[in-house]
Each structure stands twice: as structure tokens, then as C-alpha cells.
């Protein structure tokens, strides 16, 4: 079965690329990258990916957000003849990358629905003339009639490579599967001999295998970088008064950029309104807003006119702002992959950033119900499409596949709940989820950059006894009540339901009066996350013991519980333990903060006049280096990280003049 229109099935031979030596190109690449991007040294895994790219091999690269994936397909285009075609899912993401490349003097362009007709015509003329190094397109543009035929045989230069950004969207087992991305599997047949390069920040081993299989990669090089982001500080706290909790996080980052993620549209507007009343420059963003309003909020955030965006997961993939200093989850994400991707938007410049999550057991039930309803609606839609005449075997196969997808989604949700409520190092838990290790099995590990390792969570000495009391209460109440009611019984509350069911007569009534209700629900959530308590499906989710929970209740299992403090107790950024410092981060020297703020103001002014986001001018990391070293000459300015030849010529005199004031 062909994935493309019939007129595109037969292709003339691709134009032959001029003689090209990958070894010579790799040797020339270092000076070229320094000249264009001002980068003196490649990060881990970038060199291997670029070398595979130049050798013409198929490639899958998994590199955490902020690890420099885009350089791995941008840099080879500087030294290799031919066009690099970049497939990206969002117009805003493409626009920001193209703006940055053009600022650095690279021949790059995009084709998207946001272009005026004369702009589109100019890009097409450049494409045919062979003057572009990189062209960004969406999957929809790629599949438009005649487009592949044009890039493969209608241009003055050969098609050197196809780079697929956000490649996890290809996998139906991934967290962000997109059907239009699955069609990219037809590229191998349509473009024989053209190397396919897939890039993503989040992919488990199953998802990686699925990407390679779906694309039909030939003997691909698969590179998986170390997943850990040492400059991020992770915290996970039970949700109480969430608006106050979020305000405390923001208070630790005055004037900095941040993102707050919520489950519902209504919640985004409520929290954004509350933050605005408290004097925070905050706006809501969700899919229910008109497209023009969404674009306005995103543009204001990118240009640093808005500090905080309160959003559903509809916001983020197209955000390339490098100086996001905090990401808050006001509720449980629906999977560890989503959590890693969303928190990965913080600290992309390598400087320290904070990622705090406020969760509740009810979040798990909300997501689970949504997954189940979505699966049921998909099945109904399938029946409607086929009008009841679908082949029985095909119907059974579709039902089987839908059940597997639903099962995988619920399993990911359970892993997320375990991460949120668990008491082990957050960095270690994330890295191990993606199949890597930060320490030898059985060894203790102190990351110095999460609430667990910073000593912000207090381990309960009698956690096993407390767990047994909780489990016993669930059994005594008939394993047919939710966590709120069980917590009330354990605390000895005098509610109408407790009196109605006679639960004040139980032996477990008032068994844990020393804990408030929020703490008890947090302890129950931890036991759910550890697999000792299960949650029954339905409108009113109830708790029951797993087989492991039964063993724990009778003392045949061990468990570790932590007392999670209220957010105020975590107000110190470093807590009571030591903290790691990112090797990439260069912090402001004493007395340099005023200079840094002046440079930020100049950057905003220049960005506004040129119609680009401020980080396209210079990242915070480069501004920190400027403020610390205050170069007074262009020669000294050119030695700063992130200053290439084009920016030295274009922006150097302006910033040096400011530094000389």
C-alpha cells in the first residue's frame, strides 16, 4: 500500500550529490559550528549523531530536552552538499528555529500556513534554485500532492537527508501518537537512498523499536543519551491549597518565566486569574481559546511580556524559550513521558530551574476515567465509520489494538502515580524509567537536586505499622470506599457517612489521630503508587488491597513511607541537603546582577524591533557570561559562548557599547 498519491509513486532518479568525504566534513564542522553558532564544544552524543548523519546512515537519536537535538541536523547541513528537509509538527516550533538560524546567517526557511503568498513564493523559488541548506515543513505539507516530487527531482540540488523532529509522535505506544506522523513510514519507499534521521527527547525502548520499525530504517544507528538533567530540581507534594502552593513557587523566581500545567481548561483560567490578582503577569492558555488568542499568549510569553502561562498540555511543544526557570504541575500528568517532556521545558539554557508537582489520588482516577471514555468513544467512532459492515476479523483486530493502547495508557498512568508518591530519588526514578542507571543496583544515590535527596521529605520510622493500620482500615470498611472516607475513619472524624455506616464502631476508627486528613491521603497515595493498594474503576473509585498489600498487612513485606511537608516547608531552594550544580551553568558573579538586568532589557528591545523572541538574540547563559566578564572589545566579546561570526558583526557593537557605559 502506498502512502502517497499515485502520481508520486514513480520517481526519476535522485540528483547525484557532488563528491563528499564524511571524514573531511567532520573535521571542517568544528570550526564551522563555532563560527556560526559560537559553540566551542559539542555536548555528549552530539558528535556521534552528527558523524552518523554525515556518513549517510539512518539514525534515531534520543536526547533530553535542552540537550541540543536540533544542532545534530542543523550542523551537518553547513558542511554537506544538498538540502536537509526537517519535518516538525508545529508551525511555532519551525518559525522559532528558522528565525534563530537566519539570525546566525544560515540559509533556512519554512513552508507553513502562516506564510503570505509572496513569502511562500519566495521560499519555493529558493527551493528550486537550490540556495537553501534547511527547509522546515509539517507532515501535512510533506504529503501535499507533488511536494516530494519537487524536493526529490525538481530542485537544483539533491535531497541530502530527512530529519524528523518529535519522532515519538510516530509510535502508537508513545505518549503523543499522531496518525499523520505514522504515514511517514512511506518515506523509505518514496525516497529510496535518502537517509532518515529521527529525533526525540522521550522514548522508552518499546517506543524506540516502534519508531525504527515504522520508518523502515535500514541498519540504523540508535543513540540514547544519558537522560538525567542535573540542573533541574524536582519536587512532588500533595495538593492542598493549590493556588497558594503555586504562588510560593513563583515567589522563589520573581520576574522569571514559568509554566503551570493543569488538567482542565476551567482550572487554567481560575489559577491564571488568581495569580493576576496577586500581581503576577500570568495568562491562561488552552485549546478552547480562539487560535488568534492562543497565538497572542504564546507570543507574549516568548517575548517575555508575560512571565507565567497557566495551560493545559495543549501548550508546550512549540515553546523554545530557553530561560524558563520553573515548571509547575498543578495536578498529576498522565504519564512519566509527558512529565519528562513538560518539565524538560525548564532550564534549557543549562542554568538551574525548578520542577514542582502538586498531586492527589483523585488525579489518577480522573485521568483513568478519561482514558477509558476515550477508548469507548474510539470504538463507537469506528463502528460509525464502517456503518456496521466492518469485517468481523477486522473489527476484532481493531478492538484488540484499542484495548492494548488503553492498557498501555493506564499502565503509564500507574507509573506516574508511583513516581509522584514514591520516596526515592526523583532523578534516579526518571532515569531508570527510561532504562538507564545513575547508580549500581542496590546502592544508595544522592542527587542533591530533588526533595528526597535534599531531606525535605521526612521518612516515617514506623512506616510499616502505619501502612498496616491503613490497609486494615480499608479491609474493615469492606474495601468499598475511597481514600477520603478511609482517611476520615483513621483520623476519628465525626462525619455523617461514618455514623451512617457505623464505622465509628470499627477497631480502626481513630487509629491514626496524629495525622491530618491531607497527610493520611498522601500516605494512601504512596501505598497506591507502591502497588499495595488498588483502585477500582467506576464513577466512585474505591480502594482494595492487592495481593502484595495483603502480604504487607500481615507483616510479610517491607515498605518506606515519607511525611510530605506543606509547600511552605520547602521554600528554601536548596533545602537541608547539598545541591548539585550543573556543569553547563555559569552563575552570576557577585555584583553582576545589575549588569545582567540591563543586558536583558537591551535584548528585549532588540527582539521587539526585529520581531523575534529574546532568546534568539542571545540566551540567558550568554548574557550571564557577558555580565560576569564584561568584555569591552569586539575581540573579547567574540570569545563568549553563543557568539558566532554573524552575531559578532551584527550585535557585538551594540552590546559592547552597553557594557562600556
Concatenate the DSSP letters of all residues of 513-542 into one string: TTS-HHHHHHHHHHHHHTTSEEE--SSS--
Consecutive H or E run containing 199: strand 196-200
Between CA 340 and CA 113 the distance in angstroms is: 30
Q: Report if residue 165 sits inside a domain.
A: yes
Domain boundary among 541, 563, 585: 563
Query: Is the separation of the CB atoms in 637 and 631 below 8 Å?
Result: yes
Residue 11 pLDDT greater than 50, yes or no:
no
| Residues 10 and 106 grouped into a single domain | yes
Between CA 290 and CA 298 the distance in angstroms is: 13
pLDDT digits (tens, 9 = 90+) for 629-659: 999 999 999 999 889 888 999 999 999 999 9
| Residues 556 and 599 grouped into a single domain | no
Between CA 486 and CA 472 the distance in angstroms is: 10
Q: Report if residue 439 sits inside a domain.
A: no
Q: Report if residue 449 sits inside a domain.
A: no
Residue 397 pLDDT greater than 80, yes or no:
no
- The pairing of beta strand 196-200 with beta strand 159-164: parallel
Name the range with the highest mean pLDDT among 17-31, 202-216, 382-396, 491-505: 491-505
Confidence band, pLDDT 50/70/90 cuts, at residue 376:
low
Q: Report if residue 320 sits inside a domain.
A: no
Between CA 552 and CA 554 the distance in angstroms is: 5
Interval 427-438 mean pLDDT: 88
Interval 105-129 mean pLDDT: 88
| Residues 139 and 194 grouped into a single domain | yes
| Residues 552 and 602 grouped into a single domain | no
Q: Which domain covers residue 150, as residue numbers? A: 6-224
Concatenate the DSSP letters of all residues of 387-448 into one string: TT---HHHHHHHHHHHHHHHHHHHHHHHHHHHHHH--S-HHHHHHHHTT--SS-TT-----S
Interval 367-379 mean pLDDT: 73
| Residues 60 and 121 grouped into a single domain | yes
| Residues 160 and 27 grouped into a single domain | yes
| Residues 551 and 599 grouped into a single domain | no
- The DSSP code for 568 is G
Domain boundary among 224, 256, 279: 224
| Residues 538 and 624 grouped into a single domain | no
Interval 532-551 mean pLDDT: 86
* 3-state SS assignment for residue 625: helix
| Residues 16 and 112 grouped into a single domain | yes
Query: Is the separation of the CB atoms in 405 and 375 below 8 Å?
Result: yes
pLDDT of residue 307: 94
Interval 386-411 mean pLDDT: 70
Confidence band, pLDDT 50/70/90 cuts, at residue 371:
confident
Between CA 585 and CA 426 the distance in angstroms is: 21
Looking up residue 473, the CATH number of its domain turns out to be 1.10.10.10
Looking up residue 654, the CATH number of its domain turns out to be 1.10.150.80
* 3-state SS assignment for residue 232: strand
Looking up residue 188, the CATH number of its domain turns out to be 3.40.50.300
Q: Which residues of 506-518 are buried (b: 16+ CB within 10 A; e: fewer)?
A: bebbebbeebeeb
The three cell numbers locating residue 284: 491562561
CA 389, 392, 398, 403 torsion-angle sign: positive
pLDDT of residue 577: 36
pLDDT of residue 90: 78
How many alpha carbons lie under 13 Å from residue 576 in its C-beta half-sphere? Answer: 6
Q: Return mean pLDDT, the chain.
A: 84
pLDDT of residue 406: 81
Q: Report if residue 209 sits inside a domain.
A: yes
The more confident residue out of 377 and 486 is 486
| Residues 532 and 605 grouped into a single domain | no
| Residues 599 and 559 grouped into a single domain | no
Domain boundary among 207, 224, 241: 224
Cβ contacts of 538 within 8 Å, gap of 6 or more:
none
Q: Report if residue 640 sits inside a domain.
A: yes
- The DSSP code for 129 is H
| Residues 558 and 621 grouped into a single domain | no
Give the total number of structural domains in the chain: 3
Interval 475-495 mean pLDDT: 95
The CA–CA distances, whole Å, from 31 to 38, 75, 84, 105, 384 equal: 9, 11, 20, 15, 59
The more confident residue out of 560 and 600 is 600
The three cell numbers locating residue 168: 515519538
pLDDT digits (tens, 9 = 90+) for 156-186: 888 999 999 988 888 866 666 777 788 888 8
Q: Report if residue 506 sits inside a domain.
A: yes
pLDDT of residue 377: 66
Confidence band, pLDDT 50/70/90 cuts, at residue 106:
very high
Interval 342-368 mean pLDDT: 87
pLDDT of residue 318: 57
The three cell numbers locating residue 342: 513538560
Interval 279-291 mean pLDDT: 92
Confidence band, pLDDT 50/70/90 cuts, at residue 571:
very low
The CA–CA distances, whole Å, from 426 to 220, 438, 447, 453, 559 equal: 32, 11, 8, 8, 18
Interval 191-200 mean pLDDT: 91
Between CA 312 and CA 22 the distance in angstroms is: 44
Percent of the chain with pLDDT over 90: 42
Q: Report if residue 573 sits inside a domain.
A: no
Interval 122-136 mean pLDDT: 92
Q: Which of 433, 44, 22, 52 is nearest to 222 (CA)?
A: 52
Name the range with the highest mean pLDDT among 25-39, 190-204, 423-437, 544-558: 544-558
Amino acid at each position: 500500500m502506498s502512502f502517497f498519491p499515485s502520481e508520486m509513486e514513480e520517481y526519476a532518479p535522485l540528483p547525484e550529490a557532488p563528491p563528499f568525504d564524511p571524514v573531511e566534513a567532520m573535521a571542517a564542522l568544528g570550526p564551522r559550528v563555532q563560527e556560526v553558532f559560537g559553540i566551542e564544544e559539542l555536548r555528549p552524543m552530539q558528535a556521534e549523531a552528527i558523524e552518523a548523519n554525515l556518513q549517510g546512515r539512518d539514525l534515531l537519536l534520543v536526547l533530553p530536552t535542552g540537550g541540543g537535538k536540533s544542532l545534530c541536523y542543523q550542523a551537518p547541513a553547513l558542511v554537506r552538499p544538498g538540502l536537509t528537509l526537517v519535518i516538525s509538527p508545529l508551525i511555532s516550533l519551525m518559525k522559532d528555529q528558522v528565525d534563530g538560524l537566519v539570525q546566525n546567517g544560515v540559509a533556512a526557511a519554512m513552508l507553513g500556513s502562516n506564510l503570505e503568498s509572496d513569502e511562500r513564493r519566495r521560499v519555493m523559488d529558493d527551493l528550486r534554485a537550490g540556495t537553501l541548506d534547511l527547509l522546515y515543513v509539517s507532515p501535512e505539507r510533506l504529503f501535499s500532492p507533488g511536494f516530494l516530487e519537487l524536493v526529490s527531482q525538481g530542485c537544483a540540488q539533491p535531497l541530502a537527508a530527512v530529519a524528523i523532529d518529535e519522532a515519538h509522535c510516530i509510535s502508537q505506544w508513545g505518549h503523543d501518537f499522531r496518525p499523520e506522523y505514522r504515514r511517514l513510514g512511506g518515506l523509505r519507499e518514496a525516497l529510496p537512498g535518502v537517509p532518515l534521521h529521527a529525533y526525540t527527547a522521550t522514548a522508552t525502548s518499546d517506543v524506540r523499536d516502534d519508531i525504527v520499525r515504522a520508518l523502515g530504517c535500514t541498519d540504523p544507528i540508535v543513540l540514547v543519551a544519558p537522560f538525567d538533567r542535573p540542573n533541574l530540581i524536582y519536587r512532588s507534594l500533595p495538593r492542598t491549597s493549590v493556588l497558594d502552593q503555586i504562588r510560593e513557587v513563583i515567589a522563589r523566581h520573581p520576574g522569571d518565566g514559568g509554566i503551570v500545567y493543569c488538567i482542565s481548561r476551567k482550572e487554567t483560567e481560575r489559577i491564571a486569574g488568581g495569580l493576576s490578582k496577586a500581581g503576577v503577569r500570568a495568562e491562561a492558555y488552552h485549546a478552547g481559546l480562539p487560535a488568534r488568542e492562543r497565538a497572542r499568549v504564546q507570543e507574549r510569553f516568548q517575548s517575555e511580556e508575560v512571565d507565567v502561562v497557566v495551560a493545559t498540555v495543549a501548550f508546550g511543544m512549540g515553546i523554545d524559550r530557553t530561560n524558563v526557570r520553573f515548571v509547575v504541575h498543578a495536578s498529576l500528568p498522565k504519564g512519566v513521558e509527558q512529565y519528562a517532556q513538560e518539565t524538560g521545558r525548564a532550564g534549557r539554557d543549562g542554568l538551574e530551574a525548578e520542577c514542582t508537582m502538586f498531586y492527589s489520588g483523585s488525579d489518577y482516577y480522573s485521568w483513568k476515567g478519561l482514558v477509558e471514555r476515550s477508548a469507548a468513544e474510539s470504538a463507537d467512532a469506528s463502528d460509525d465509520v464502517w456503518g456496521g459492515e466492518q469485517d468481523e476479523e477486522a473489527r476484532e483486530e481493531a478492538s484488540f489494538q484499542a484495548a492494548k493502547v488503553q492498557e498501555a495508557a493506564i499502565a503509564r498512568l500507574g507509573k506516574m502515580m508511583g513516581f509522584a508518591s514514591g520516596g526515592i530519588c526523583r532523578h534516579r526514578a526518571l532515569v531508570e524509567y527510561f532504562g538507564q542507571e545513575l547508580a549500581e543496583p542496590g546502592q544508595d544515590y544522592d542527587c542533591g537536586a530533588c526533595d528526597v535527596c535534599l531531606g525535605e521529605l521526612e521518612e516515617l520510622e514506623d512506616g510499616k505499622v502505619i501502612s498496616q493500620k491503613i490497609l486494615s482500615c480499608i479491609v474493615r470498611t469492606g474495601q468499598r470506599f475511597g481514600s477520603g472516607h478511609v482517611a476520615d475513619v483513621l483520623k476519628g472524624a465525626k462525619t455523617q457517612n461514618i455514623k451512617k455506616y457505623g464505622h465509628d464502631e470499627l477497631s480502626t476508627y481513630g487509629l491514626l489521630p496524629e495525622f491530618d486528613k491531607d497527610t493520611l491521603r498522601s500516605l494512601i497515595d504512596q501505598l497506591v503508587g507502591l502497588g499495595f493498594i488498588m483502585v477500582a474503576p467506576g464513577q466512585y473509585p474505591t480502594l482494595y488491597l492487592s495481593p502484595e498489600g495483603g502480604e504487607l498487612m500481615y507483616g510479610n513485606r517491607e515498605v518506606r513511607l515519607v511525611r510530605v511537608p506543606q509547600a511552605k516547608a520547602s521554600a528554601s531552594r536548596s533545602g537541608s541537603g547539598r545541591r548539585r550544580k550543573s556543569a553547563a551553568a555559569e552563575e552570576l558573579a557577585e555584583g553582576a546582577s545589575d549588569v545582567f538586568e540591563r543586558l536583558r532589557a537591551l535584548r528585549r528591545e532588540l527582539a521587539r524591533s526585529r520581531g523575534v523572541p529574546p532568546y534568539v538574540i542571545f540566551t540567558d547563559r550568554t548574557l550571564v557570561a557577558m555580565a560576569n566578564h564584561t568584555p569591552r572589545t569586539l575581540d573579547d566579546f567574540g570569545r563568549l559562548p553563543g557568539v558566532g561570526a554573524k552575531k559578532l558583526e551584527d550585535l557585538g557593537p551594540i552590546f559592547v557599547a552597553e557594557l562600556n557605559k
